[in-house]
Amino acid sequence: MMIQQQTKTDDGAFYFALAVGGLISAIGIAAALYMEIMGHQVSGMNNQIFWGLPHVFGIFLIVAASGVLNVASIGSVFGKKAYKPRGPLSGLLAIVLLAAGLAIIMLDLGRADRVIIAATHVNLTSVFGWNMILYPVFFGLVGLYIWTLMDRSKNQYSKTVGTAAFIWRLVMTTGTGSIFGFIIARQAYQSAILAPMFIILSFAWGLAIFLVVQEIMYARSKMELHPQLRARMKNLLGVFIGAALYFVAVYHLTNVYYAKQFEFTHFILVSGGVFPLLFWGGFVLLGSVVPLFLLYAPGFSANKGSVTAASYLTVAGGLCLLFVFIIGGQAYPMDMFPGMQVTSSFFDGKIDSYMPSLPEILLSVGGFAIAFTMTLVGVRVLRFMPQDDVAKLQSAGYLHD
């Protein structure tokens, strides 16, 4: 089998998918506009839990955007030939996921109409302020990277630009972890481990999304991914899921060790109702243990469906983890007066609850739809389909008969 040729996909299916993606995106944007006009009183957020579902989805996409670029980096920075044909798609997804994640976060702003101020009044002591530099440069670098990967005359620069993009994405996700890592006020955050933890999480979430998109593209083009290539990538996903689990475990173990953090950790992991449920059931079991089983258990691991299911579950587990981390971290009251029972009209000392409203759900889902629609258009107009020269890979020792 030599290079597989991408067959022209069905026009009708493309336009149908485009219409559905566009419609859900438009509904999401309309929901944000509704919140903008009515105020956030129509959201489930309040003055205790002020970052809600849109932040969970938005931050997930931003973290995954950085991670999905790993696929390109492994190919052109670390020289793994099996990943090289996947570089352009990896770059496209990085741009698309970051754009969609930012769209959610920006549309949820109290004054989304003033978003330009974020660029004209940058405060460099703020991690959000850093993002005004980190994100545009990431877009630029990845755009350049895709160019060097897709234009043969510019291939020689791909390693240099790819290395710059690789380093930049590590810095960018360090920034995302530091959004929380530098928060001294709350028990859930202020931990140096959050920056590397978010980097590891990005590896797993980004690769999971890449594998899902790749399988869909192959299926739509009636192409078949070489099983050994799938096996390589699913093993990598397994390693990333395991590493993510390890970092999350260390984060919680650290908190258990600190006496002042114990009660918060008990809340998140044991007594906090929906939060322990989503942590153990969502992130640990469905988002980590089951995917690892599907990726490694004999009888499952070689199966295309198992790898795709494991990827979907990794994404779902990631959303559960962020829900617990972001919402749970706010729901637990701040310990302003240690050793005291605290009550007030502002719900001090009380564990808060959060139920996302319909506009928030629509905005969050709309963000995913924006990513879907942009990817759909991207792969339609340019050659992002990973196409493997199997004979070459075999001769290079990457594949075996």
Partner 1 sequence: MTEPNDKSRRGFLGAAAVGAAGLGVAAIAPGLHLIEVSQASAPGKGASSKVRWGMLIDTTKCASDCNACVKACNSENGISEVLKDPRQASQWIRKIDLKDAKSGITHSLPMMCQHCEHPPCVDVCPTHASMKRADGIVLVDRHTCIGCRYCMLACPYKARSFVHMTLTEQNPEVPRGQGCVESCTFCVHRVDKGQIPACVEACANAEHNAMLFGDLNDPNSAIAQRIAEVKTTQVRADLKLNVGVRYQGI
Radius of gyration over every alpha carbon of the chain, rounded to an integer in angstroms: 22
What is d(CA 100, CA 110) in angstroms, rounded to the nearest whole number? Answer: 18
Separation of alpha carbons 244 and 264, rounded Å: 21
Tell me the C-alpha distance between 66 and 386, whole Å. Answer: 19
- Among 137, 304, 347, 380, which residue interacts with partner 1 (rule: CB under 8 A)? 347
Select from 11, 344, 381, 401 the one that contacts partner 1 (CB under 8 A): 344
Q: List the structure tokens of 279.
A: 């942590």
Q: How far is the CB of 249 from partner 1 (least distance, A)?
A: 24
Q: Is 15 near partner 1 (CB under 8 A)?
A: no
| Minimal distance, residue 180 CB to partner 1, in Å | 8
Q: Which stretch binds partner 1 (CB under 8 A): 4-12, 161-169, 304-312, 332-340?
A: 332-340
What count of other Cβ atoms lies within 10 Å of the Cβ of residue 338?
Answer: 6
CA distance 390 to 224: 12
358 binds partner 1 (CB under 8 A): no
Closer to partner 1 by Cβ: residue 219 or 355: 355
Q: Closer to partner 1 by CB, 276 or 349: give it.
A: 349
Angle at CA of residue 83, ends 78 and 89, nearest 5°: 115
DSSP 214-280: HHHHHHHTT----HHHHHHHHHHHHHHHHHHHHHHHHHHHHHHHSHHHHHHHHIIIIISTHHHIIII
Cα separation values, 189 from 61, 87, 179, Å: 20, 34, 9
* Rounded-to-integer distance, Cα 57 and Cα 62, Å: 9
Least distance CB 179 / partner 1 (angstroms): 8
- Selected binder of partner 1 within 8, 12, 345, 400 (CB under 8 A): 345
Size of the site for partner 1 (CB under 8 A): 51
Q: Which is nearer to partner 1, 46 or 394 (CB)?
A: 46
Query: Judged by CB under 8 A, does residue 153 bind partner 1?
Result: no
- 109 interacts with partner 1 by CB under 8 A: yes
- Distance between start and end Cα atoms, the chain: 11
**Least distance to partner 1 from the beta carbon of 398, Å?**
45
Segment contacting partner 1 by CB under 8 A, of 56-64, 178-186, 249-257, 377-385: 178-186
Considering only residues 112-151, where is the footprint of partner 1 by CB under 8 A? 112, 114-115, 117-118, 121-123, 125-129, 131-132
Binding site for partner 1 (CB under 8 A): 36, 38-41, 45-48, 50-51, 109-112, 114-115, 117-118, 121-123, 125-129, 131-132, 179, 182-186, 189, 330, 334, 336-337, 339-348, 352
